[in-house]
Structure 1
Amino acid sequence: MTHLRWGILATGGIAHAFTSDLRANGFTVQAVGSRSADKARAFADEFGIPHAHGSYEDLVADPEVDIVYVATPHPMHAVDAALVLNAGKHVLVEKPFTLNRREAESIADLAESKGLLAMEAMWTRYLPHMARIREILAAGTLGEVRTVIADHCQDLPDDLTHRINALELGGGSLLDLGIYPISFAWDVLGEPLTIQSHATFKETGADATIATIFGYDGGRLATTISASDTRGPVTASILGTDGRIEIDPWWFTPTSFRVYDVDGTVTEEFSSDGTVTGRGMHFQALEAERLIAEGRTDGEILPLAETVAIMGTLDEIRAQIGLTYPGETPN
């Protein structure tokens, strides 16, 4: 770690989870900002943070903050990330990076013009078991990878006022849950050539279930399913001509996996037990600090151009199922 001084923008549940992991793993959390001075002070007291700001503007202006984690609802990500970058600070933006590709491109362009790091907080990519899986794939252990299968189905609150069901907050299964298996498919197979999507919806207009099939050259496929109203196994698999990887629940969190050869014999087992303190959300912060220490504004694990392109995939899925968000400017 370079011991950059982190600022936390917003004080909701994901901000609590991320900050808890930072504090548990020795990172420096210097300031927090909220639209409510009382909420900022309560958050600062909870985590022992020196500075509490009653506005986002005051947070990003804090001279003792080097990098800011944006933890606001999806529709605010682009506005808040721009606020951070225009203040001359690096930014880690909670996934999904923005509401759509157009917004993602605007943040990428702004970060480039400022010479600053802008990174999506897709924390799964940085977990130890995912790093090991990429090594296995690079070594050719599975032969030619043919298929990726991943689900992220949860039984979340039915309350129509809950954020997950609020279309005006970008709620629904796609941006909250589907982003995980879709980003995973991108990680393994890259950009799909074809996309097929199907969805069901809640009374609010938010998507309840999203199923996708991605097609790639040579007949390779990825299939994902995400739901906010049905609990699933929350597992993932990578199938190749010489073997397969099966990732245990919850596959996008620190977990375990097994590698099988074509005869079904286990050739490797990996477990995250005892290797991760907290939820593991700090690994993405570690990567951000490493890149900044090296004078870089982008990385290899999830390049910003890939984040932007994934937002384009999400846009195409939404176009196919007829989903738009209130006030969204067409691309």
Structure 2
Amino acid sequence: MTERSVRWGILATGGIAASFTADLVDLPDAEVVAVASRAKESAQAFADRFGIARAYGEWESLARDEDVDVVYVATPHSAHRAAAGLCLRAGRNVLCEKAFTLNAREAAELVALARERGSFLMEAMWMYCNPLVRRLKALVDDGAVGKVRSVHADFGLAGPFPPSHRLRDPAQGGGALLDLGVYPVSFAQLLLGEPSDVTARAVLSEEGVDLQTGALLSWDSGALASVHCSLVGGTATSASVTGSRGRIDVPGGFFFPDRFVLHRDGRDPEEFTADPADGPRASLKHEAREVMRALRAGETESPLVPLDGTLAVMRTLDAIRERVGVRYPGEAPEADPAAELMPA
């Protein structure tokens, strides 16, 4: 793999799969060799669109394809555990869309399977691979704003989304939190790690998914993060990091920013801007490059998107859902240790 193109398989044919594949075919060291869908017609149409040699009408053939170095799983997150697990058990490396799974238990199963098999596994948190986001993190880590006191991030879409839409469907892991809220939560935890406490409120749909959710995360250091996501109102998608000696403002599109402003106490503001080549969707290319770099280096996970970090985000998302009362079909309630001590 060190001297040839990395060969990709695409599992699912929706919008994000098309965006990612369009960027892959622009990379000289990437080759998309196969695509799979549960419908042969959909797979073939996708293959024709992008010039892909093989189109499979079920997932198993892609998972068994020895010519595939890594599979990009782009199904709704309700199917991530099944799709990624199938590929890992067949010996494929996997890049899996976010939210990584429906819950932390499923995420832990995938991570354990990848580590047992020695396969590469990474959550497709492309924000973490964005050069400007990495620059922001480096500044914070280097103490540019002092000790972090608070983080804010929001992501909302105006909608409206009808009840039939996947974002309203509990069976597909619908709701604002897993689809949009994963970004604000991941941004906060990129800078502060896993919180020690979580409080949250939400407005739920008739179907039982969250239409909008606000959460307050807290750390033993005294830091707080306010995160918000919505399917009923378009937000600024802004973010800020406030510290004891300054602040960083990301005025919009914090998960693929074109600029941010550093305010240091007693100094003029400093603006950091993205390279013109890093357009609004270029983070998908950075994500793909990081996967290929790791595979060529023989790494089984990325230092930019570590699996332990993914698990920590999933635990936070679970905690938020528990606080607001969102549970998906087939999810068992958490065991109550005290229940074993109570008489039947």
**TM band (smaller chain):** over 0.9
Q: Residue 201 of structure 1 is aligned with which of 187, 198, 204?
A: 204
Q: CA deviation at 1:279?
A: 3.9
Distance between the aligned counterparts of 2:272 and 2:136, measured in 1?
A: 11
Q: CA deviation at 1:269?
A: 2.3
Distance 1:274 1:284, change over 3 A: closer
Tell whether the 8 Å contact from 1:254 to 1:279 is kept in structure 2 after alignment.
no
Distance 1:277 1:198, change over 3 A: closer
Tell whether the 8 Å contact from 1:144 to 1:240 is kept in structure 2 after alignment.
yes
What's the CA shift string for 1:226-255, capped at 9, x where partnerless?
A: 101111111000111221111121111242
Identity of aligned residues (%): 41
Q: SS of 1:324's equivalent?
A: coil
Aligned to 2:178: 175
What's the CA shift string for 1:202-231, capped at 9, x where partnerless?
A: 122110111011111232111101101111
Distance between the aligned counterparts of 1:134 and 1:55, measured in 2?
A: 40
Q: Residue 44 of structure 2 is aligned with which of 33, 41, 44?
A: 41
Alignment of 1:135-214 (within 5 A): 135-214=138-217
Q: CA deviation at 1:272?
A: 4.2
Q: Residue 67 of structure 1 is aligned with which of 58, 67, 70?
A: 70
2:123 matches 1:99: no
Aligned to 1:308: 311
Alignment of 1:1-331 (within 5 A): 3-26=5-28, 27-263=30-266, 265-276=268-279, 278-331=281-334
TM-score, with structure 1 as normaliser: 0.96
Where do 5+ consecutive residues of structure 2 fail to align? 335-344
Q: SS of 2:38's equivalent?
A: coil
Distance between the aligned counterparts of 2:332 and 2:100, measured in 1?
A: 16
CA RMSD, 1 decimal: 1.6
Distance 1:46 1:74, change over 3 A: same
Aligned residues between the structures: 331
Tell whether the 8 Å contact from 1:128 to 1:254 is kept in structure 2 after alignment.
no
Paired amino acid for 1:21: D
Distance between the aligned counterparts of 1:184 and 1:168, measured in 2?
A: 27
TM-score, with structure 2 as normaliser: 0.92
Q: SS of 2:270's equivalent?
A: strand
Q: CA deviation at 1:263?
A: 4.1
Q: SS of 2:221's equivalent?
A: helix
Tell whether the 8 Å contact from 2:256 to 2:280 is kept in structure 1 after alignment.
no
Tell whether the 8 Å contact from 2:36 to 2:43 is kept in structure 1 after alignment.
yes
Distance between the aligned counterparts of 2:333 and 2:294, measured in 1?
A: 34
Distance between the aligned counterparts of 1:14 and 1:267, measured in 2?
A: 34
Tell whether the 8 Å contact from 1:74 to 1:170 is kept in structure 2 after alignment.
yes
Distance between the aligned counterparts of 2:282 and 2:293, measured in 1?
A: 20
Tell whether the 8 Å contact from 2:259 to 2:271 is kept in structure 1 after alignment.
no
Tell whether the 8 Å contact from 1:24 to 1:277 is kept in structure 2 after alignment.
no
Distance between the aligned counterparts of 1:256 and 1:330, measured in 2?
A: 43
